[in-house]
Structure 1
């Protein structure tokens, strides 16, 4: 059994940042990075954008060049799926029988796509977008695909719809709720993106459920809706969220609610076991799992400092982004629990922001092609600023000037 002073599970942004930050902060012990992925660590956000469209080859989305890992004495343990954690003995067991011991364990395993469970869900031609293999399979089929059904009006689904539309495919987006992005944004942003996709030829259908997938010879040929309508489809993209990959932790005794629970230092209740990224839920503060590159990376840096004798609590303000067509959406903060949403700028001009308030305090902004608002609005969120709604709505007043009001 190989033993590492620090063993990291997961080769996404969080796992990679943890390894890199440990070395940057002087960690001299051995580091192993386990992943069920066989590829060198790569960026995930481009998968539904530039990589799917062909704008960036795989080599351009590598997080670090191939020679980096050996130069930092970081062992890449690729192609190993962790099946079990034995916390008392401080070791992990992989599905292929390999075992690794650890002094400290950083769990950055992320999540796996939620699958459809209706009849026909096993047909070929139904895809998720989570890793390179997923997108490669989509790309391999695209030449013979004319009609695509995208299930789920979240960011992954909308980004995939935008790329596929630009590639000349006929796309239908089906969302079970009454608007797209309903779980993460206010109605003005939802309606803006619905209109944008429709303007680009996407058939956006709201409050629409799937009864079953229809196929021939094991391959998808269509989708039957709850209302009895049938749609022809050569491909389906399912983007209905993820399930956090934490089963080995929970089985080993970790406390978990919608992921694994962590404290302000990203510690689980298991000795010397930390968790970061999409699979981790911070118990204090917002009490949420945050699915973003920034969150995973910042948590990784916080854990690295702790392991190097510089313990600091994680308290970064989350930020996110999404590219669709020529639209750049940038979000700062978490809008969960907002009680007022103020629009500043003109959605018709395709340049505006939505400012979210809770009990009069600015908690988040969604900025569409409005980089200045995004940069200046960060300070308002960080300072929990109280700004009158009519002032926020006045696009002639800069957010920067509101900081000291």
Structure 2
């Protein structure tokens, strides 16, 4: 048990949490900081596809927190939080370990939501962190190795079919990446790339529908057709049940199924259990259960608690769950914690959406710049790579590239 009550504790080491820490250390914040996350690695999610395709390595995309925080004075606790007590200002790890805090930052994100689809959680791959990417990569290679060794045509077709549930940004980027790399892996083993199938199953009639990346919809559709193998789109298809290597869906009141050795779930999130358990009434949450926060990103009745990212929504100024929003929220929270420590008033969060970047296969991307210009192909790939690589978190003593969002001239107003 730790009874010190002047800690600033940050729960969750995603974009909001980690960038809050890095900004605080850059500002020489004097109060002791604890970062708690159940994973040992940070995941730079926009580049997780590049890790899968082996265009970037794990040290770039998924560095260890201990490396990022080396010599920073920040204490990293790799653990899963069991309970948050807002009234007594305590965070409980287990029956013998808890921390008291002066300020708390809730940056827990949201876990995957399965919408009650039977078997979805048990029989699909997720794609949200380092472990997910490595597990998927190993599974796919194993399927290819089995396929190259079998003479059973039906079994081989089954092994070479990949189904992706969801046509949001994650589903589209993952499908485009796999449609380039999986055929290449298979050909290196001696197989024919035409035998590989990548299929998107989507309940709506359009990809990227209702998303901030909607401006790249047509570019994405073209890219999916022009991969190493064309991605198949099964639209207006709602997943109803998922068994081991078999997906059932309903379309136009007809029941259909797809046999696939690999089924990946990329759609939907749900409220984090810890956020759900907080004593915050429904009228101070949005319809998704996210916490309503003041423009300063403080909780309404607990001003010493900040919340950002997917688990919170600023009142009267809802912000999309994007990495670029999270960077900026992390900076705001850090600035406001610094202000409070100096007995100054916190400032309102001001988020600027600078455009969207999406990966559309190996060496190809789409860039929508401020909704004014759309760039495609290799030039967009170079923009995306340079943008993200200059934003990758670096050890705290070398934290320079992330203090300003979008330094590349092509993104300047």
Per the shorter chain, which TM-score range? 0.7 to 0.9
Q: Which residue of 2 aligns with 1:204?
A: 233
Aligned counterparts of 1:299 and 1:328: Cα–Cα separation in 2: 26
Q: Which residue of 2 aligns with 1:301?
A: 331
Question: 2:32 pairs with 26, 30, 33, which one?
Answer: 30
Greater percentage in strand = 1
* Structure 1 residue 295: Cα displacement: 1.2
* Structure 1 residue 179: Cα displacement: 0.5
CA offsets 1:360-396 (integer angstroms, 9 cap, x no match): xxxxxxx96796xxx9xxxxxxxxxxxxxxxxxxxxx
* Structure 1 residue 185: Cα displacement: 5.4
CA offsets 1:209-249 (integer angstroms, 9 cap, x no match): 223223xxxxx222222133322200111111222426346
Q: Which residue of 1 aligns with 2:85?
A: 86
1:147 aligns with 2:161: yes
Q: Which residue of 1 aligns with 2:307?
A: 275
Aligned counterparts of 1:187 and 1:251: Cα–Cα separation in 2: 34
Aligned counterparts of 1:314 and 1:188: Cα–Cα separation in 2: 25
Q: Which residue of 2 aligns with 1:8?
A: 10
* Structure 1 residue 31: Cα displacement: 0.3
Q: Which residue of 2 aligns with 1:161?
A: 175
Aligned counterparts of 1:77 and 1:148: Cα–Cα separation in 2: 37
Q: Which residue of 2 aligns with 1:396?
A: none
Q: Which residue of 1 aligns with 2:61?
A: 61
Q: Which has the higher contact order (CA 8 A, sep 6+)?
A: 2
Q: 1:123–1:31: structure 2 CA closer, same or farther, 3 Å change rule?
A: closer
* Structure 1 residue 67: Cα displacement: 4.3
Question: 1:253 pairs with 263, 276, 280, which one?
Answer: 280
Would you say the 8 A contact 1:161–1:171 is kept in 2?
yes
With structure 1 as the length reference, what TM-score do the two structures score? 0.75
Would you say the 8 A contact 1:249–1:260 is kept in 2?
no
Question: 1:19 pairs with 9, 18, 21, which one?
Answer: 21
Question: 2:258 pairs with 219, 231, 237, which one?
Answer: 231
Q: Which residue of 1 aligns with 2:297?
A: 266
Aligned counterparts of 2:28 and 2:172: Cα–Cα separation in 1: 42
Aligned counterparts of 1:176 and 1:137: Cα–Cα separation in 2: 26
Residue 135 of structure 2: SS of its match in structure 1? helix
* Structure 1 residue 115: Cα displacement: 1.9
- 1:320-359 equivalence runs, <5 A: 320-325=356-361, 326-331=363-368, 350=376
Aligned counterparts of 1:186 and 1:52: Cα–Cα separation in 2: 22
Aligned counterparts of 1:302 and 1:321: Cα–Cα separation in 2: 23
Structure 1 unaligned segments of length 5 or more: list them. 215-219, 336-341, 352-366, 376-398
Q: Which residue of 2 aligns with 1:117?
A: 116
* Structure 1 residue 117: Cα displacement: 2.9
Aligned counterparts of 1:85 and 1:6: Cα–Cα separation in 2: 14
Structure 2 unaligned segments of length 5 or more: list them. 144-159, 184-195, 388-409
Aligned counterparts of 2:53 and 2:296: Cα–Cα separation in 1: 38
Aligned length: 340
Aligned counterparts of 1:36 and 1:251: Cα–Cα separation in 2: 19
